[in-house]
Amino acid sequence: MLRTIIAVLIAAHGIGHILFLIPLLGVANWGQTSQSWLPFSDSLLRVIGSVIWIAALVGFGIGVYGLIVQQQWWRTVVIVAAIISIVGLILFWANPVSSPVVSALVFNLVVLGALLVAQWPSIEAIGA
């Protein structure tokens, strides 16, 4: 049961990166910024941001798959995806900060703290 709850939370977080990708691509405006403090052209920022958000989304998805099928590597993939997500959030940080940005940052930090610092969940607790 714990494995399922963790998988759903991580999957939802990964899918949530669409909130950052879609406005960046100009498909819809959901209130998220597509601007970055990097001194690059809009088209280059669109490419950089797209790569980051897609990598985070796919990374969390692959990590969830690994968790569900009880692979040892799922933790590493989720840690990398969380780091990629944090990099994207920092690169596309805007003032004032929106609540999805803060929520994503907090979730990423919780994931990193749980997996790296607390070594939670244990293999015995989730079977992976």
DSSP assignment of 34-76, as one string? ---SS-S-HHHHHHHHHHHHHHHHHHHHHHHHHHHTT-TTHHH
pLDDT digits (tens, 9 = 90+) for 70-79: 999 999 999 9
For residue 94, the enclosing domain spans 2-126
Count how many domains the chain has.
1
pLDDT digits (tens, 9 = 90+) for 52-105: 999 999 999 999 999 999 999 999 999 999 999 999 999 988 777 778 889 999
Q: Is the pLDDT of residue 22 over 70?
A: yes
DSSP assignment of 70-107, as one string? T-TTHHHHHHHHHHHHHHHHHHT--SSPPHHHHHHHHH
Q: How far apart are CA 62 and CA 69, in angstroms?
A: 11
What phi, psi does 113 have (nearest 5°)?
A: -65, -45
User: pTM of the predicted model, to two decimals?
Assistant: 0.89
Q: How far apart are CA 25 and CA 19, in angstroms?
A: 11
